[in-house]
Amino acid sequence: MAPILGYWNLRALVEPIVLTLKQAKQPYEYKTYKLGGAPDYDKSEWLKEKENLGLEYPNLPYYIDGDLKITQTLAILRYLGRKHDLGPKGEEETIRSDLIEQGVMEMLLSLFRAWYADNDQFYEANIIKLVPYLEQKFEHTSKVLGSNQFLLGDRVTYNDFLLYSTLDYIRLFKCSLLDPHQGLKDYLDRIEALPEIEPYFKDENFKRFPITGSMAKFGSGN
């Protein structure tokens, strides 16, 4: 029986996991939960199951493979990295991978904090702070990548899919932020051209939006 990956019907935190599974050629069942629109933002599909799946920390995304049940995005990614040889090797790579992982996750979560604003005024104030923050993080990320094909050299790891998803969301939000960083643009192209990944993006069912739920000021596709 194939593992089950559960998440809302949007990209957000699940996309790096999906890409890692595709790269690993791991069949899986993708169970999506509908997140309703305004004003109620109905979560009943998930709430009906939340406490009945045997999850220690009930949350989305989750990954269930027989008796193995994992929640939390990074925990799932690390597990898949170890299982499918898509993680760091040795202490030096592990330290570097941990550092990159936390840096990219910080950048990703900054997007959601800015986009999930209570009103337009708060959203505009958030964006004023977000843009210079991202400009600085792009400088750091460009240096981290350097002349490497991927984050840890010439071998793709789960962190590449975490970074890819984050950069893709940012270019959909404000593509000009990437203009000074041709290396990051080339990196995005390289990820999309991976033999196991390319068919996913070319599939007629693939959609860039929604990234976020309908309560967000950006990313819902509304």
Q: Which residues of 175-194 are buried (b: 16+ CB within 10 A; e: fewer)?
A: eebbeebeebeebeeebeeb
pTM: 0.97
175 near 168, Cβ under 8 Å? no
CB 107 within 8 A of CB 169: no
Classify the C-alpha dihedral 198-200-203-208 as positive or negative.
negative
Q: 90-201 has which fold?
A: Glutathione S-transferase Yfyf (Class Pi); Chain A, domain 2 (1.20.1050)
Indicate the class that CATH gives domain 4-84.
Answer: mainly alpha
User: What residue ranges of the chain are covered by domains with CATH 1.20.1050.130?
Assistant: 4-84
pLDDT tens for the chain, 222 residues long, are 899 999 999 999 999 999 999 999 999 999 999 999 888 999 999 999 999 999 999 999 999 999 999 999 999 999 999 999 999 999 999 999 999 999 999 999 999 999 999 999 999 999 999 999 999 999 999 999 999 999 999 999 999 999 999 999 999 999 999 999 999 999 999 999 999 999 999 999 999 999 999 999 999 976
